[in-house]
Amino acid sequence: MDRVLHIVDEKTSPDLLRQLALLVADGDTVLSAGPPPRAALRLPVRPIHQPMGSARLAGLRMRPSAAAADILHAWSPRATAAGRELSLSTGKALVVSLSCAGPADRAGALREAVGPGLFAVTVPTRSDRSVLIRGGVPERFVHVLPPAADGPPPGDSVRRRVRDSLGLDEATRLVAVPDTMVRHAGHDLASWAHAIVCKVTRRVCLLLPGGGPHERHVRFFAGTTGHDEDVFFTGTRFALADCLAASDLAAFFRTRDVGVSAAAAAMAAGLGIAGSRTPDLAELAPDGEAALLVEPGDPRVAAAAMLKLVEQPDLARRLGEEGRRRAGRLFRPAACRRRLEEIHAAAVEAKVF
């Protein structure tokens, strides 16, 4: 097994940090280009100073730590800049993980970067891989690394603890919106759909854990729907797994793909999912099998999907059970870790030759 030097920074997405936390091995090292991310990982994260705010110069300062590593792995754009400089100066292969294929210009930037200094890119779905290849990234450099996801905490004690803290009884349906609060993640649509649902059925509450760069906007919009008392922003008060254990459903009404780790976690938790028919989500949780998916961007169809799962608990249960089965087949951390080891080994071999 290769010894890996992982590189992050303070803006590494929670989506990728969740993956790193589940995939990092005991012998690995985690460095941060500049201040570390706030999220806790299993291994300590050592910050490396960025002279003049330059990630590339931070990468050069990482050379002593890279001496014992077999391969480098970057988990954010800034970390990639540091890792590429480190790779070029040490001759060690670099792997970069993306939370999704992203906009078209990302493929162009990767197309220019692959080769010396970058020997593999991982994405979570086949759809993402196809996007990068169509964008000109050579096929041999792009690998699918499925999202790792743990199952929910055992027993009902976590569910009771979280719901008691929120003042919710078991009759109240709780819908989690666990994506990071970034642009295109669809938190506005979820709030809008929730408000519509509240007009026609018994009490339904919305749980928005975590945060993100658009948190202020998400909070403001949620406050305009007239249902503030039924919307809970919990920040880091509860772990994501605990929030999912306390919830009955999960909503992912993103307008384009923004990452998959929260959706994979919701599937592993056995939640019925209502979401948008974006390529990544449709691949992970097929419509009618493991989720109820609708066209992105329309609050009416989003509300109809949410209401259907609220009013048809047997349907929600069936979708959740199939989602849990798929997660058990595809997203087990041990299997994802083995896949990552294969990607690392291939990158090392490609670098050698």
For the segment 188-233, what is each residue's pLDDT rounded down to a tens digit?
A: 999 999 999 999 987 899 999 999 999 999 999 999 999 989 999 9
**Considering the entire predicted model, what is its pTM?**
0.95
25-29 average pLDDT score? 91
Q: What are phi and psi of 242, to 5 degrees?
A: -70, -40
For the chain, what's the residue count?
A: 353
CA angle 344, 329, 265 (to 5 degrees): 85
Write the DSSP assignment of 100-137 as a string of letters. S--SHHHHHHHHHH-BTTB-EEEESSHHHHHHHHHTT-
Q: What is the mean pLDDT of the chain?
A: 94
Q: Average pLDDT for residues 314-318, to the nearest whole number?
A: 98
In this prediction, residues 112-116 reach a mean pLDDT of: 79
Average pLDDT in the 124-148 region?
Answer: 95
Nearest to 107 by CA among 131, 83, 126, 85: 131
Q: pLDDT tens for residues 221-253?
A: 999 999 989 999 999 999 999 999 999 999 999
Pairwise CA distance, residues 167 & 164, whole Å = 5
Asked whether 73 and 5 are in contact (CB, 8 A), the reply is yes
Q: What is the mean pLDDT of residues 250-278?
A: 97
Nearest to 27 by CA among 5, 8, 57, 45: 5
The residue among 17 and 43 whose pLDDT is bigger is 17
pLDDT at 151: 81
Query: What structural domains and CATH numbers belong to the chain?
Result: 4-147+333-352 (3.40.50.2000), 157-330 (3.40.50.2000)
- Report the side by side order of strands in the sheet with 29-33: 45-48, 29-33, 4-8, 71-74, 94-97, 120-123, 142-144
